[in-house]
Chains A and B, each alone.
Chain A
């Protein structure tokens, strides 16, 4: 095992140095800048030392640059997964590989950045779908990974996972922990670009269960936790001396909540029902807390309220089923309606890495259901970048990081794929575990088994 780890480390280093200090010009491309320049019908983009140094219709290719003829293909910013378990959870059904939940011992203090595995084989798979950055977010229910209904007792297992607190101790273990941002650069042994970017909170049905019974209980516990965090922040030394009243959360949990109550770090809130969205918007205003909504299947019902509050939303555009009593109003045009109302909408595949690949298709689905094409492109690039404060990525503009994808057609279409993916100016390897399996079995077997 150690030998293999060393070997792969050596390969990664070799790859990084071989590709460094390269200037690349992608020519003859339809460039979707997702910025003020809009769509450049045919142009050139130049990547130098990891940055975008030129983009436009009449850009000359620098001498010595490696030229990639896009042949009319489409160039976009690298896609950004707005909320995922990427690199923190491997196989949904294998508990040992799931590191995106804290279990019962921690609440807001759980820091998912320590769970990240830069050698996860699913990173290659995600990149093969054009994803170059992701927000990795903890959840109450752990890494699902596309578990479906025809699956024995997986549902019961998930119910057990939902039990977020120790029975009877009254601790509000609602908060699922702190999110991190990652960048999917091969050969980088630390892909976390920023930790503690948000504290996640599951409300609605899941939150009610975690709170011990009801939505009302969950909201009271959240307010109580905010009060405690403020009291703790006001007088840490008294807390250290044991001279404060009892707090419902531990010191590490309170530490994580302080920047939230100070309005510096957003709270990522998972809600689905319209009434729950109203409650959290009201609570955020009262508590002066910044929030991002995830889910919001009934968001269209309260789109004006969300827009007025300036709250960004992460949606899965496929969600059109009344699959629970909190999504009775789920609709395929939820994203389009929210966007039309002025809400910043980020589109997700799902939080599970294998369905993460559906992100771009979900943006296509939003277009099919009324969202303007440019808004849909932004919902998987510029909007999640802005939402998470990733100012150096998300658009194709001079000075931004060279996180760039070249597609052989419309990036939102089923029949296209990325032909070149750049992260920080480095062209990324295109092979990953799945492509190696594919190539092994796509050819006829010889006299020897394929394992040779």
Chain B
């Protein structure tokens, strides 16, 4: 708003006040009442000053790869809705799953048919915790863009602005069946910034990968990282209690900011005089959480710390969507189940820092049995290529103590459960009619060490084919380098 416009608006309001005063003078004399609010006509805020109007910044330009109606027949199908179908049929067309069922499932005559005999089909793997693109390969300082280690609260940064879409790691992950990833900023800060969810197709822009309609998350971090980073600089937080004070202070500011915007909007709706708060990107992210639009993705290893974080959520009226790295979920499975909070963990990583010391391979299985929403994540460009095997290890650790967790359940840990925790379960994550045709054809039981993703479809388009070099994309970086981006036979 220009100063000239402000002056004109002020003059108008003064005039209005004078008129109102004259007409109601007698009533005021008889019964002193609260001064009626000034009626004004609000103009839209100038571009960029209203977070809720105008185009969403950095909009997705994702376009599905070309696809054709395809039926995979004869394979063992894990739907990620609890079903294992032998000799099954998965039919997709127009980028969507059309039908999934047993051998009797009808398939139109004029579609591509893939013989899945002896093979397995699952939904595309979703890695709920990835730093591909923000900590890309090769890992040099010049491309180390995953951690804005400059303040304990950097809720204003967005990981999508660090993503280098040519990271060769995306190609490796796709060959492991990964069709969707949540790219998180790092865990040095109490609030690390916003996450972005990507469809794992090659693109020369981040926007070209951005998952249409996926909500943002905000990365929070408990525990050792924030206090080590900032304590090491002799500033807060340097302790676990300093961490908690930092979260609470931030939520107080966020609640106050939200109140200001809510008040402003209420007044605008009533045509009352109001001054718009100045946008604050940091508080806007946190307000998005309080408004239920942005999901909390909280790095938190220890069970006792998760319990504290859940209480903070209750104090300020927000929900934690998922705890990441939660190696002690098995100690608090009941709490997670009660509050319907997902947790993401590994099977095999333990003891690399004090807060991971009590990590056990049966963690996921025990908390799963307690009713918690279980996710196996990677946080790693190598493990993301074999999340199926990591889920197998977690399942096996439970079965070793008699839990009898079937594959049909455990597959959810890397498909439908992460979809839920990313707020995209209505779009992908399970083989259900109407959802995206994000589908992996495996050479064998995906819970086997010998299984490989043979074909990977994303929105019905063939994104990767182990047997056809034409569908093994190489990133710009890999051209002209030793190996030329080929990493398997």
Contacts and interface: CB of A to CB of B under 8 A. Distances in A.
Interface string B459-489: 0000000000000000001100111001111
Contacts of A367: 449-450
Contacts of B137: 321-324
B450 A150 contact: no
A146 B483 contact: no
B299 A122 contact: no
A323 B381 contact: yes
Contacts of A442: 330, 362, 366, 401
B139 interface: yes
A417 B401 CA distance: 12
B214 interface: no
Nearest to B392: A414
B351 interface: yes
A227 to B, nearest CB: 33
Range of interface residues on A (Cβ < 8 Å) = 35 or more
A331 B392 contact: no
A434 B139 CA distance: 33
A414 B129 contact: no
Q: Interface SS of chain B: helix, strand, loop or mixed? A: loop
Contacts of B379: 148-150
Contact of B352 (A91, A327, A435): A91
B353 interface: yes
A309 interface: no
A310 interface: no
Interface in B250-288: none
A441 B303 CA distance: 12
B481 A93 contact: no
Contacts of B146: 149-150
B389 A417 contact: no
Contacts of B483: 322, 328-331
Contacts of B144: 155
Nearest to B184: A150
B194 interface: no
Nearest to B445: A415
Given A93-B354, A298-B482, A438 B229 contact: no
A318 B172 CA distance: 11
Contacts of B169: 321
B487 A320 contact: yes
A70 B330 CA distance: 32
A370 B366 CA distance: 36
Contact of A330 (B186, B229, B487): B487
Contact of A318 (B225, B353, B382, B396): B382
Nearest to A146: B352
A93 B350 contact: no
A145 B226 CA distance: 20
A320 B472 CA distance: 15
Given A324-B140, A415-B395, 9 more contacts: A125-B350, A149-B131, A153-B188, A155-B144, A318-B382, A331-B488, A352-B352, A414-B389, A415-B447
16 contacts: A91-B354, A144-B352, A148-B380, A152-B147, A152-B149, A321-B172, A322-B477, A328-B138, A332-B488, A333-B489, A357-B348, A365-B386, A414-B389, A414-B392, A414-B393, A442-B366
Interface of B: 129, 131, 135, 137-140, 144, 146-147, 149, 168-169, 172, 184, 186-188, 224-226, 228-229, 232, 299, 325, 330-331, 348-354, 357-362, 366, 379-382, 385-386, 389, 392-393, 395-397, 399-401, 447-452, 477-478, 481-483, 486-489
Interface of A: 90-94, 122, 125, 144-153, 155, 274, 298, 301, 318-325, 327-333, 352-355, 357-358, 361, 364-365, 367-370, 412-417, 434-435, 437-439, 441-442
